[in-house]
């Protein structure tokens, strides 16, 4: 008599398939869907913030709620949207690009994803707690966070621990996969640049997430267990919190941008019909950026008071980061130079990323100069700067990656018309939103305020109009994705961009490096 149970059917089987899956493609899809869902949640919060600032005297929400929205928008966008979306790209593409059957630890992969919804359920629950949600800003500076009464802060700390564990597990899995699961004959230097960007990002995650975990644990013990890490009355120092937070926070910026560099380094050569210019220098530039990211954190703290020698050290090292970053931008432009360029949607987003990220980098150089930073600090100039890096930069690279790999994932091309409409609306509205913020900051408008003086009204009105255009432009993206996933668009062949759009290696160059053997030795005259 057989004791085999019949396989579940219907809805239960569907739920089990996604709940217990260990397939890297399924988990990559889950990460992407979750990340974009949280992107819209955080984006909705930002639209409320911008509506509040549309004109002086507006009171859509009270100042306390406004501060909660500022806090949750930042945390949700970083930990809920940007990092999971990049993890989705990693899960989908890393095994495919190195010839691995799956990630090194498939069950760990499943667990690292499912920690995210639970962590964010706890974080979002703080919005409905007695006393209000956390209103400390996303940086959670002490002593405000340690003296802040409502329990929502404690739940926020727990959620950050859960999200940190998820990130560390995913990073361990990525490192193990890239070091141990490459196809025979593929050396580290032969790995695609996207894989290189992720192995460096994973090491950064493992290095800095425990620092954040330790910092919020110290916060928790200050709140409930009588310690005085950040309490001056007990011999502590609030500046210690800033040092610890930014030691995590600055490498975190590169955790958010290095995978974007990897995506752009895959797309630009494809649509230029040329191999990536200076491939080895690109890899070393990624490594340099990662190392330098650990020794520049105090440029966030120039106005907190530090010795002149210390200030100069952090100023010079911060400016030094622009060298490897400039190398990357130069190599992308050199790859396009004299290439047989076409501008399909992924390439448009890639070129848009290069232009916007470069602009964000230039304002970053301005902030790196210590005497000038005293003028810019805590103004809307800073908000404009990091949104050029993270919205006009990171987000455009994500859209580029989705449009580029969607034929690989679904077997169908996205609609080119809707993709290009999405690009132009996004690019124009991003500039309408964040460019005026630089001028607001230079004129002296402080950030994180629910109201402002009359002289800032015009630029704020422009920024609000741009934000709403950008928000609604993303609905075009959603419609395009749903249409593509349902197979309502043009069918893609196996080698999507090469075959359907005539992309060939038409220049006298070696074969692309995405092969599982060492690239052939090329003589100098070829």
* pLDDT tens column, 81-104: 999 999 999 999 999 999 999 999
The pLDDT value given to residue 523: 45
Q: Which fold has domain 25-506?
A: Cytochrome C Oxidase; Chain A (1.20.210)
CB 499, CB 490: distance < 8 Å: no
* 300 is an active site residue: yes
| Count of C-beta atoms within a 10 Å radius of residue 23 | 16
The pLDDT value given to residue 488: 87
- For residues 302 and 374, give the distance between their C-alpha atoms in angstroms, rounded to a whole number: 7
* 513 is an active site residue: no
* 451 is an active site residue: no
pLDDT at 284 over 70: yes
* 243 is an active site residue: no
* 254 is an active site residue: yes
Q: In a 3-state reduction of DSSP, which class is residue 51?
A: helix
Catalytic residue among 215, 265, 464, 484: 265
* 265 is an active site residue: yes
pLDDT tens for each residue of 27-83: 999 999 999 999 999 999 999 999 999 999 888 999 999 999 999 999 999 999 999
CB 477, CB 415: distance < 8 Å: no
CB 379, CB 445: distance < 8 Å: yes
Catalytic residue among 279, 328, 387, 422: 328
The pLDDT value given to residue 497: 80
- For residues 283 and 234, give the distance between their C-alpha atoms in angstroms, rounded to a whole number: 47
The pLDDT value given to residue 504: 40
CB 447, CB 434: distance < 8 Å: no
* 447 is an active site residue: yes
Catalytic residue among 254, 332, 413, 497: 254
| Count of C-beta atoms within a 10 Å radius of residue 507 | 12
Catalytic residue among 97, 166, 201, 335: 166
pLDDT tens for each residue of 173-183: 999 999 999 99
The pLDDT value given to residue 14: 86
Top-confidence residue, 4 or 364: 364
The pLDDT value given to residue 160: 96
* 495 is an active site residue: no
312-327 burial code (b ≥16 CB/10 A, e <16)? eebbebbeebbebbeb
pLDDT at 388 over 50: yes
């Amino acid at each position: 008599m057989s004791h085999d149970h019949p396989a579940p059917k219907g809805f239960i089987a569907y739920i089990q398939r996604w709940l217990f899956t260990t397939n890297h493609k399924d988990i990559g899809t889950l990460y992407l869907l979750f990340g974009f869902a949280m992107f819209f949640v955080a984006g909705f919060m930002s639209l409320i913030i911008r509506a509040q600032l549309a004109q002086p005297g507006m009171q859509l929400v009270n100042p306390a709620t406004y501060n909660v929205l500022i806090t949750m928008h930042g945390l949700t966008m970083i930990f809920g949207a940007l990092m999971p979306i990049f993890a989705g790209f990693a899960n989908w593409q890393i095994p495919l690009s190195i010839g691995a059957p799956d990630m090194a630890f498939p069950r760990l992969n499943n667990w690292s994803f499912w920690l995210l919804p639970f962590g964010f359920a706890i974080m979002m629950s703080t919005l409905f707690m007695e006393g209000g949600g956390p209103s400390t800003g996303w940086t959670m500076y002490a002593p405000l966070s340690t003296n802040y009464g409502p329990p929502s802060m404690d739940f926020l700390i727990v959620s950050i621990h859960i999200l940190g564990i998820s990130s560390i597990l995913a990073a361990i899995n990525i490192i193990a996969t890239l070091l141990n699961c490459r196809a025979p004959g593929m050396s580290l230097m032969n790995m695609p640049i996207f894989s290189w960007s992720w192995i460096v990002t994973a090491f950064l995650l493992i290095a800095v997430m425990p620092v954040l975990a330790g910092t919020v644990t110290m916060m928790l013990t200050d709140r409930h267990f009588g310690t005085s890490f950040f309490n001056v009355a007990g011999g502590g120092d609030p500046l210690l919190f800033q040092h610890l937070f930014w030691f995590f926070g600055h490498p975190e910026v590169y955790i958010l941008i290095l995978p974007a560099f990897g995506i752009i380094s895959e797309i630009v050569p494809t649509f230029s019909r040329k191999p990536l210019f200076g491939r080895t220098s690109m890899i070393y530039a990624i490594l340099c950026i990662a190392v330098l990211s650990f020794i520049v954190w105090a440029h966030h703290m120039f106005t907190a008071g530090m010795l002149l020698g210390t200030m100069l050290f952090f100023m010079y090292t911060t400016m030094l980061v622009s060298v490897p970053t400039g190398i990357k931008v130069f190599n992308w432009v050199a790859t396009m130079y004299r290439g047989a360029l076409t501008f399909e949607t992924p390439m448009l987003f890639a070129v848009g990323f290069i232009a916007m990220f470069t602009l964000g980098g230039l304002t970053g150089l301005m902030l790196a100069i210590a005497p000038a930073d005293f003028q810019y600090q805590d103004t809307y100039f800073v908000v404009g700067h990091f949104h050029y890096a993270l919205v006009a930069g990171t987000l455009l690279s994500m859209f580029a990656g989705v449009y580029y790999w969607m034929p690989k994932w679904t077997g169908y091309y996205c609609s080119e018309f809707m993709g290009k409409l999405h690009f132009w609306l996004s690019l124009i509205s991003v500039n309408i939103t964040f460019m005026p913020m630089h001028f607001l900051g230079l004129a002296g408008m402080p950030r994180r305020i629910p109201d402002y003086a009359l002289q800032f009204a015009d630029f704020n009105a422009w920024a609000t109009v741009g934000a709403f255009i950008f928000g609604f432009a993303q609905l075009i993206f959603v419609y395009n994705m749903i249409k593509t996933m349902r197979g309502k668009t043009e069918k893609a062949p196996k080698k999507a961009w090469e075959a359907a759009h005539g992309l060939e290696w038409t220049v006298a160059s070696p074969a692309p490096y995405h092969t599982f053997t060492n690239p052939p030795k090329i003589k100098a005259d070829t």
